[in-house]
Chain A
Amino acid sequence: DQQVKQNSPSLSVQEGRISILNCDYTNSMFDYFLWYKKYPAEGPTFLISISSIKDKNEDGRFTVFLNKSAKHLSLHIVPSQPGDSAVYFCAAVGGSQGNLIFGKGTKLSVKP
């Protein structure tokens, strides 16, 4: 049973527009979330994180929003660029040791 869900396997956006990637989780005990970006044949690269004591964290073009009551988070990329085309993974810190629980990823395509 998946604890972190990314229900959209793919998303296509025009360059310059906003990309919104969504993630839902089931365990209300999760208190720290991360987004990773992955290009083919490379490992995931850390993008941005958020603690459950916040509802928003911003870093340049990337903003993560957390809605604890809905157990939902989203990653906004504004403006989207062709180089943002990649698979984006949402992850929650699941164990006491810090191991990550990942969603299955959303493949973002940004068209010029």
Chain B
Amino acid sequence: GAGVSQSPSNKVTEKGKDVELRCDPISGHTALYWYRQSLGQGLEFLIYFQGNSAPDKSGLPSDRFSAERTGGSVSTLTIQRTQQEDSAVYLCASSSQGTRNQPQHFGDGTRLSIL
């Protein structure tokens, strides 16, 4: 499809396990963002990639969270030693130029549940 694709759509795992979430941005989009939405909350910024530049990790809540973007396209968000408070919907978005005023286009998210 032409939109942002995320996988898996749902993930249930036990506390303490590591998880990997994947995002395929819209082809040609150079900017990629990760957000998460916890229950009853708005979306919270996590990390930003623009081209080959170093990512902006200022939103990552702890050092258990990391992300990479290979070849300027696909991105993976990794959460190590998951905790119950990590349960949320993790959303990826991309935009065409990464300038501040380009609308971001979102995937449908990964719903992560930590038991």
Binding site for B on A (CB under 8 A): 4, 6, 32, 34, 36, 41-46, 49, 51, 89, 91, 93-105
User: Contact between B103 and A4 (Cβ–Cβ < 8 Å)?
Assistant: no
User: Contact between A97 and B98 (Cβ–Cβ < 8 Å)?
Assistant: yes
Q: How far, in whole Å, are A34 and B48 apart by their CA atoms in the complex?
A: 18
Q: Is B71 an interface residue (CB 8 A)?
A: no
* A11 CB → nearest B CB, Å: 16
* B5 CB → nearest A CB, Å: 10
Q: How far, in whole Å, are A91 and B41 apart by their CA atoms in the complex?
A: 13
Q: Is B1 an interface residue (CB 8 A)?
A: no
Number of A-B pairs, beta carbon distance below 8 Å: 72
Q: Which of B64-115 contact A (CB under 8 A)?
A: 91, 93, 95, 98-109
Given A42-B108, A43-B91, A44-B106, residue A95 in contact with residue B40 (CB < 8 A): no
Q: Which residues of A contact B56 (CB under 8 A)?
A: 95, 97, 99
Q: How far, in whole Å, are A49 and B43 apart by their CA atoms in the complex?
A: 17
Q: Which residues of B contact A100 (CB under 8 A)?
A: 33, 35, 43, 45, 104
Q: How far, in whole Å, are A98 and B40 apart by their CA atoms in the complex?
A: 24
Q: How far, in whole Å, are A89 and B35 apart by their CA atoms in the complex?
A: 14
Residue of B nearest to A4 (CB): B42
Q: Is B26 an interface residue (CB 8 A)?
A: no
Q: Is B59 an interface residue (CB 8 A)?
A: yes
Q: Which residues of A contact B99 (CB under 8 A)?
A: 98
